Structure 1
Amino acid sequence: MTATSGPSGGRSGPSAGGRHVLRQPHALASLRERLRDTFWFAPAAGLVAAFALWWGLAELDTSIVTHLKDEQAYDEIGDLLTFAVDARTIVTTVSAAMMTFIGVVFSISLVAVQMASGQLTPRVVRIFVRSRISKLTLTVFLATFAFSLLVLTSFEGGPDPDPRRVTSVPLLQSLLTLGLVGLSLLLFVAYVSSMLRLMRVGPVLDHIARESLRALASHSGGPVETLPLGPATARLVHREAAGVLREVGVARLVRAAGRHGTVLRLLPRTGDFVVPGTPVLTVHGGTAPSARSLRRTLSVGVERTLYQDPAFGLRQLSDIALRALSPSVHDPTTAVQCLDRIVQFLSMAVHLPLGALHHRDRRGDVRLVQEVPGWTDLVDLAFEEIRWSAAGSPQVTRRLLAALDDLLLLAGEERREPLRRHRALLVEAVERTVPEAADRAFALRPDRQGIG
């Protein structure tokens, strides 16, 4: 980012409303989220752990044989060798079959994910990438394959080795290989169950709703307040690659603003697409922080995430509902399920102060103002596009009317206007689309199940 003196355009004025943010994100939260969005870290860590386990168990097996030799217990060594000969056959079979097994399982899984993304929305692929059971299954499968290959290098001699000459018998290594095979079979059952859930609408919507509510809860803060920022003295321009603003390094921005005695205002919202040359921060009072101190405070990527962007959950639910209402699919029941989760999200947001986040330093001074979607923005995102497509489906119009009525009961007077507006527009659309009076009356009767 580059600092430019002078007033800034756009959203540089004072916030109309804001709130305290009492909790700062954990220092490792950003790293954890980045690793969850990758599919390589867990398998790579599993391969390293497999090598470390093999090395440690090989040393223990060598110590066991050395101790038995010191005790001249050659009969016991012979028994271990008999077990090792049988175990070698099993380990050889496991190492030969595991990679084929991995390829078949995950090929089928990718086909299942492709089907789910085609039926619902391409954004559900992210659920598979972030799935713990998917990563754990692939990690154990690869670790079992790699460990079995390493164990094969520990076997000594031919089919009938001499107990007096062997230096190590892979007893513990073979036992762990058998344990890994058993764990792989159990994880295979759990993984197939997880993939089947991913192909069902209900569990996918539940997953999106839970992540959205968790992201929304992380934005909880104190009371609404008005903070006059004064005129902008400088603005900071984005100089890195173009992309979606995925994450804001709040703690680093607050520290940088505190060192320079200034207040920073973040212009784009999380989820906005930014290009090089776009102003991203305005400076109010004090001196502008250096570009070096603000390095990596804004994370830009190729797609949105739910980590600091709770509105992205509504976007996904709306996308699934719109695809269900398209003429090629025509699945109003799925749209009704999406509306169930949208109401769940908005019923929590209706009680939260929305508008702008005021991040404070340890002394309580506001150092960063961050825009977040307001109540009207969330309501429009949730209902606008669905309302346009729902006029010809009585199941969806009835559920949508019931949703708006429920939210009107929960909302305070200051937040009822957008709900009333959407309700009036929905009634107008149905009256304009449905010619028969009896059909119109049926379509405009609120029902939480659509058509129960």
Structure 2
Amino acid sequence: MTDSSRSVNRATAQIALRRPRPLSSLREHLRDTFWFAPAVGLVGAAVLAGVCGIVDDAVLARLREQRDLAGIRSLIDWTANAEAVVGTIASGMLSLVGVVFSISLVAVQIVSAQWSQRVVRLYVRDRTAKATFSAFLATFVFALWAQFLNGGGSRDPATAREVPFVTSAVAVALVLVSLMLFVAYVSTTVSLLRVSRVIEKISRDAAKILALRSEPAVFDRTAPVSGTLAYRGRAGVLRDVHVARLCRIAQRQQVVVHLLPRIGDYLVPGAPVFAVHGKPRSALDERAVLRTLNTGAERTFHEDMGFGLRQLVDIALKALSPAVNDPTTAVQAIDRIQEFLTAAVDHPLGILLHRDRAGAVRLAQDLPGWRGLVQLAFSEIRPAGAGHSQVTRRLRAALEDLLRLAAHDRQGVLRRELELLEQAVARTVADEGERDFALTADRQGIG
């Protein structure tokens, strides 16, 4: 495909178009919390304990109907043997939770100070950590219940009122599950101490944003604007917008709503947030529209295309700081930055359109453009790494590779970045031979 045809295709497919997912925002919000999974585990443990108690009563009643004293005696003997184990679980599980997770939090704090404060979110979103914490707490609650049942019944097989056989068996099973999750948790936590693993996780999350399907579409930015809505609420970072709800409101009014700020922008009260294209059938419910916005203290990956690059650049800058002085880590970050830009080099950028069930466009959402992504990726690393030949060689290799892949209309910003890189090295390195060495492309920096 020629450059001109690719440019035409990109001009006609400059819009990413997709249907809204109703629960995507809620799912992302819950993933950014550490309380939801443990709370579900505690409730689940209480419900499971109640079910096991009912099953225990049913089993014992059946044995009594059959006058199976031998069976009752065997259940009592097994329960007595498991009673000591369950008691140990109840007394030691909570202490183990406190010690393990306290050490983990200290490790995460050290890692965040070494690389970036935004690395903490990887721990908060880690499914293994949440599952382990939930399993530990659930086992503790369930063991208390089992211990209560073990001490509440008679041990005479002829007059036994309650033998928690099933409850004791489930408690032991929960301990085994907790131990397996603990091994997985240790492995995951240790991997978070490796910067290569942290960079990989950030890069993988960032790549998911580029997985949107695109198709040709048209959005007329010059269409008459019937109204503009200003933000009213607590100041904070725009984390996401409830797309499905906003599309339903726009569909009822037969208008197109344009979200003016990008996801990740900081909103303050009074800032314009929505432009309404088309005349509403009736007065637009401004409060309902504004309730579709969600703000928070920090950015998230949900719909935020530039946040992954921001974190990778932060890690590279931290590595290049005089306090750390680790250019190899910066090169690893540049590897992933190039991977992201390579995936975005032919991706439709500029704006994202959401449509209703009938296929009509109802929400227009601005996205970063190609120039913005390239400048975000290189403009801060370039001056910070100008004195490190390993970094400048890797930057040149990345820019040259992207130049070979990019269409003609996307090459200008890459050529400009190459010129700025050469100028930065010329200002920093006095010797001509050293400058030539520093500006030689090398995908390993200095292999």
DSSP-derived class of the 2:79 partner:
helix
User: Contact conserved, 1:17 with 1:226, CA < 8 A, in 2?
Assistant: no
- Matching of residue 432 in structure 1 with residue 396 in structure 2: no
User: Contact conserved, 1:17 with 1:356, CA < 8 A, in 2?
Assistant: no
Match of 1:208 in 2: 202
State how far apart, in whole Å, the 1-side matches of 2:224 and 2:168 are. Answer: 72
State how far apart, in whole Å, the 1-side matches of 2:375 and 2:63 are. Answer: 76
1:363 to partner: Cα distance: 4.3
Cα deviation, 1:72-120, whole Å, max 9, x if unaligned, reads 1112212221222221111111111111111111011101111110111
Match of 1:281 in 2: 274
Q: TM-score, normalised by structure 1?
A: 0.93
Once the two structures are superposed, the pairs formed by residues 244-259 of structure 1 within 5 Å of their partners are 244-259=237-252
Q: Which letter maps to 2:173?
A: G
Match of 2:225 in 1: 232
State how far apart, in whole Å, the 1-side matches of 2:42 and 2:441 are. Answer: 56
Cα deviation, 1:279-338, whole Å, max 9, x if unaligned, reads 111122203621143142111111100011020000000000000001111000000000
Paired positions, count: 435
1:370 to partner: Cα distance: 1.5
Q: Which residue, out of 129, 133, 136, partners 1:134? A: 129
Match of 2:74 in 1: 79
Once the two structures are superposed, the pairs formed by residues 84-123 of structure 1 within 5 Å of their partners are 84-123=79-118
State how far apart, in whole Å, the 2-side matches of 1:280 and 1:214 are. Answer: 26
User: Contact conserved, 2:14 with 2:217, CA < 8 A, in 1?
Assistant: yes
State how far apart, in whole Å, the 2-side matches of 1:82 and 1:365 are. Answer: 69
User: Contact conserved, 1:18 with 1:358, CA < 8 A, in 2?
Assistant: no
1:25 to partner: Cα distance: 3.2
Match of 1:26 in 2: 21
Q: Which letter maps to 1:150?
A: W
Q: Against the structure 1 CA distance between its residues 122 and 72, is the aligned structure 2 distance closer, same or farther, given a 3 Å change threshold?
A: same
State how far apart, in whole Å, the 1-side matches of 2:186 and 2:426 are. Answer: 47
Match of 1:268 in 2: 261
State how far apart, in whole Å, the 2-side matches of 1:378 and 1:21 are. Answer: 16
Q: Against the structure 1 CA distance between its residues 384 and 187, is the aligned structure 2 distance closer, same or farther, given a 3 Å change threshold?
A: same
Q: TM-score, normalised by structure 2?
A: 0.94
- Matching of residue 372 in structure 1 with residue 367 in structure 2: yes
Q: Which letter maps to 2:270?
A: G
Q: Which residue, out of 432, 443, 447, partners 1:448? A: 443
Cα deviation, 1:360-394, whole Å, max 9, x if unaligned, reads 33444433221110000000000000001111000
Once the two structures are superposed, the pairs formed by residues 189-200 of structure 1 within 5 Å of their partners are 189-200=183-194
Match of 1:175 in 2: 169
1:228 to partner: Cα distance: 4.3
DSSP-derived class of the 2:258 partner:
strand
Q: Which runs of 5+ in 1 are unaligned?
A: 1-15
- Matching of residue 152 in structure 1 with residue 147 in structure 2: yes
Q: Which letter maps to 1:263?
A: V
User: Contact conserved, 2:231 with 2:290, CA < 8 A, in 1?
Assistant: no
State how far apart, in whole Å, the 2-side matches of 1:409 and 1:305 are. Answer: 32
Match of 2:7 in 1: none
1:398 to partner: Cα distance: 0.1
Match of 2:402 in 1: 407
Q: Which residue, out of 317, 325, 344, partners 1:322? A: 317
Q: Against the structure 1 CA distance between its residues 19 and 428, is the aligned structure 2 distance closer, same or farther, given a 3 Å change threshold?
A: closer
State how far apart, in whole Å, the 2-side matches of 1:106 and 1:172 are. Answer: 30
State how far apart, in whole Å, the 2-side matches of 1:230 and 1:22 are. Answer: 19
Q: Which letter maps to 2:208?
A: R
DSSP-derived class of the 2:21 partner:
coil
1:57 to partner: Cα distance: 1.0
Q: Against the structure 1 CA distance between its residues 60 and 408, is the aligned structure 2 distance closer, same or farther, given a 3 Å change threshold?
A: same
Q: Which runs of 5+ in 2 are unaligned?
A: 1-10
Q: Indicate the percent of aligned positions where both proteins have the same amino acid.
A: 51
- Matching of residue 347 in structure 1 with residue 361 in structure 2: no
State how far apart, in whole Å, the 2-side matches of 1:295 and 1:388 are. Answer: 41
Q: Against the structure 1 CA distance between its residues 431 and 255, is the aligned structure 2 distance closer, same or farther, given a 3 Å change threshold?
A: same
State how far apart, in whole Å, the 2-side matches of 1:65 and 1:226 are. Answer: 70
- Matching of residue 43 in structure 1 with residue 67 in structure 2: no
State how far apart, in whole Å, the 2-side matches of 1:311 and 1:33 are. Answer: 17
